Structure 1
Amino acid sequence: MERRKVTFKLYPTAREGERLSGWIRLHCELYNAALEERIDAYRKHGKSINYYDQQNVLPEIKAARPEFVELGAHALQQTLRKLDLAFQAFFRRVKAGQTPGFPRFKSNKRFSGFCYPDNCGWKVMHPGGRGAMIRLGSGKDAMSIRARGQHRFGKGAKPNDLTIMRKNGEWFASVTLRVSDEACSRARTAEQHRGIDFGLNDWVTFEDGKTIPNPRFIRENLPRMVDLQRQQARKKKGSCRYKRLGRQIANLHEHIGNVRRDFIHKETSRLVASCTVIATEALVVSNMTRSARGTREKPGRMVQQKAGLNREIFSSGFSMAHQMLAYKAVEAGTRLHLSDTRQLKPSQRCSSCWEIVPKKLAQRTHECPHCGLKMQRDQNSAVVVLIDAHTPGTGVAARPKPLTRQRAKSRPMTRETPATAAQGA
Structure 2
Amino acid sequence: MIKNYKFRIYPNKMQNNALQTTLKQVRFVYNKQLELKIKIYKDESKNLSQFELNDYLIELKKKYPFLLKLHSQVLQNINQRINLAFKSFYLRAKRGEKPGFPRFKGKNRYDSITYPQSGFSLNDKLYISKIGEINIVKHRYIKGRIKTMTIKRTATNKWFAFFTAMQENKPSKIINRQIVGIDLGLSHFYADSRGNIINNPRYLRNSEQRLIKIQRKHSRKRKGGHNRKKSRLKLAIIHEKITNQRNDFLHKESRKLANDYSFVAVEKLSIKDMSKNRYLAKSIADVSWHKFLQMLAYKVEETGGKLVKINAHGTSQHCICGNKVEKTLAIRTHRCNNCGVEIDRDIMSAIIIEKLAFFGTTAGSAESNAWGYERMLSSVNQELSLHSS
Same fold? TM cut 0.5: yes
Classify the secondary structure of the residue corresponding to 2:315. coil
Shift in Å, 1:77: 0.7
Relative distance call for 1:44 and 1:339 in structure 2 (3 A) is: closer
**Matched residue type, 1:150:** H
Pairing 1:123-162 to 2, within 5 Å after superposition: 123-125=121-123, 127=124, 133-137=125-129, 141-154=130-143, 157-162=144-149
* Matched residue, 1:163: 150
Identify the match of residue 276 of structure 2 among 260, 269, 290.
Answer: 290
> 1:315, 1:48 → 2: CA distance?
39
Classify the secondary structure of the residue corresponding to 1:109. coil
TM-score (norm 1): 0.81
Classify the secondary structure of the residue corresponding to 1:80. helix
* Matched residue, 1:332: 303
CA RMSD of aligned residues (A): 2.5
Q: Which runs of 5+ in 1 are unaligned?
A: 128-132, 293-305, 409-425
Check whether the contact 1:134–1:147 (CA below 8 A) recurs between aligned residues.
yes
Matched, 1:179 2:167: yes
Per-residue Cα deviation, 1:339-371 (whole angstroms, up to 9, x for no partner): 2123xx31222222x233333222212233555
Shift in Å, 1:147: 1.4
Check whether the contact 1:24–1:108 (CA below 8 A) recurs between aligned residues.
no
* Matched residue, 2:380: none
Pairing 1:341-360 to 2, within 5 Å after superposition: 341-342=312-313, 345-352=314-321, 354-360=322-328
> 2:137, 2:50 → 1: CA distance?
36
Relative distance call for 1:396 and 1:66 in structure 2 (3 A) is: farther
Pairing 1:101-140 to 2, within 5 Å after superposition: 101-118=100-117, 120-125=118-123, 127=124, 133-137=125-129
Dislocated runs of 4+, deviation >6 Å: none
* Matched residue, 1:25: 24
Classify the secondary structure of the residue corresponding to 1:341. coil
**Matched residue type, 1:144:** E
Identify the match of residue 373 of structure 2 among 384, 394, 405.
Answer: 405
Pairing 1:310-325 to 2, within 5 Å after superposition: 310-325=281-296
TM-score (norm 2): 0.88
**Matched residue type, 1:170:** K
* Matched residue, 1:417: none
Q: How many percent identity over aligned positions?
A: 30
**Matched residue type, 1:389:** A
Classify the secondary structure of the residue corresponding to 1:110. coil
Check whether the contact 2:9–2:136 (CA below 8 A) recurs between aligned residues.
yes
Matched, 1:272 2:258: yes
Pairing 1:164-313 to 2, within 5 Å after superposition: 164-168=151-155, 169-182=157-170, 185=171, 191-292=177-278, 306=279, 309-313=280-284
Shift in Å, 1:187: 7.3
* Matched residue, 2:78: 79
Shift in Å, 1:372: 4.5
Q: Which runs of 5+ in 2 are unaligned?
A: 377-389
Check whether the contact 1:188–1:272 (CA below 8 A) recurs between aligned residues.
no
Check whether the contact 1:193–1:407 (CA below 8 A) recurs between aligned residues.
no
Shift in Å, 1:196: 1.6
**Matched residue type, 1:225:** L
Relative distance call for 1:206 and 1:369 in structure 2 (3 A) is: same
* Matched residue, 1:361: 329
